[in-house]
Structure 1
Amino acid sequence: MATQIRHAAPADYGRVIQHVNAWWGGREMAPMLPKLFFLHFEGTSFVAEDSDGRLVAFLIGFLSQTDADEAYIHFVGVAPEERGTGLGRELYERFFDVVREDGRTLVRCVTSPANEQSVAFHESLGFTAESVVADYDGPGEDRVLFVKQL
């Protein structure tokens, strides 16, 4: 099936949020993705749909308001049956293209050090782990801080 990738829109929020916890193996992840990301970052966020219009992946990212050289990837999800197809990589590449066009040269993101698949995926995309920070997202919520030079 052909996959169509397009910019995310506010109307996509309901479709995305209904899958977040399931795609993360039942972990309570939905609170990390409020609707504001779909309202304010359409130009740097993407959804992927199969030929039947079914949501199969998304990427939520934005341009840093603090550092004019940086962009940040906040949340990415790929349906479990679509993992390993290159779809996640394609979403990241779309994001990289958009932020390059805006003159950004550095992309940041974080993931849990316990999520070994995510760590390996980011490293395969050329991200470097700057550090692991204990309690980054609150008590017991350690994170690997990644950076990629474009």
Structure 2
Amino acid sequence: MTCDIPPGMHTREPREGDHPRVLAVLDHWWEGLKGPAGAQERRLLLPRYLFQHFTPSSRLVESDDGELLAFLIGFLSQTDPASAYIHFVGVAPTARRGGLGTHLYRCFFAHAAAHQRRWIHAITSPENTRSVAFHTSHGFTLVPGDSTKNGTPIHSDHDGPDTPRVVFTKDLHKDQIPPA
């Protein structure tokens, strides 16, 4: 999978050896969101097996000098041949607002479309308002939940007791996917 990334950067599949590098940036990149419990939650959401078995549809972005700038961990659903799932995405605070997240998403959309996937699914925590805004600005629809918080639908206990999530879906057939 190739991606159109801004000059001075390159993209590649993550490798198992990248797992510690990604875990090391989570607290800083999420700026302490949800405190120590949030830090533990983020680490648990990125187990090593994702860097071993789900790399063809995932991407890492580095500067030309090797600094980690962004990552997207996603996969094609093995259960639903019409779906793909974006599991976890991060962009370094110094690299935000430059379109890097958009580049990664377009790359993933193109990969999913090339594999005849129609639906892209994703989730985020209700506290991550930046993520909610990013997803909706990229054509994701908020899936109705069992409650709302500040007008955002929440799926209580989505990832277990007391682990609510905001759930998104995107129909690739609805939008024209630009080449990655």
Q: TM-score range by the shorter chain?
A: over 0.9
| 3-state secondary structure, aligned to 1:25 | coil
Residue type at the aligned position of 1:141: T
Structure 1: stretches of 5+ with no match in the other structure? none
Give deviations 1:64-98, integer Å, cap 9, x for gaps: 11100000000001111111111011111111111
RMSD between superposed Cα atoms in Å: 1.2
Q: Does 1:33 align with 2:46?
A: yes
Contact 1:60 1:74 in 2 (8 A): yes
Give 1:94's match in structure 2, choosing from 88, 107, 132.
107
In structure 2, distance between residues paired with 1:124 and 1:50: 26
Residue of structure 2 in register with 1:22 after alignment: 28
Residue of structure 1 in register with 2:165 after alignment: 143
In structure 1, distance between residues paired with 2:114 and 2:15: 20
In structure 1, distance between residues paired with 2:26 and 2:102: 19
Residue type at the aligned position of 1:123: T
TM-score normalised per structure 2:
0.79
Give 1:112's match in structure 2, choosing from 125, 138, 141.
125
In structure 2, distance between residues paired with 1:9 and 1:101: 23
Residue of structure 2 in register with 1:43 after alignment: 56
Residue type at the aligned position of 2:129: E
Structure 2: stretches of 5+ with no match in the other structure? 1-6, 33-37, 145-153, 173-180
Deviates more, 1:64-73 or 1:10-19: 10-19
Residue type at the aligned position of 1:82: A
| 3-state secondary structure, aligned to 2:27 | helix
In structure 1, distance between residues paired with 2:134 and 2:89: 12
Residue of structure 2 in register with 1:12 after alignment: 18
1:16: Cα distance to partner? Answer: 1.1
In structure 1, distance between residues paired with 2:52 and 2:109: 20
Contact 1:49 1:56 in 2 (8 A): yes
Q: Which has the larger radius of gyration?
A: 2
Deviates more, 1:10-19 or 1:140-149: 10-19
1:106: Cα distance to partner? Answer: 0.5
Quote the sequence identity (%): 46
In structure 1, distance between residues paired with 2:111 and 2:15: 16
1:115: Cα distance to partner? Answer: 1.3
Deviates more, 1:8-17 or 1:77-86: 8-17
In structure 1, distance between residues paired with 2:46 and 2:16: 13
Corresponding pairs, count: 150
Residue of structure 2 in register with 1:65 after alignment: 78
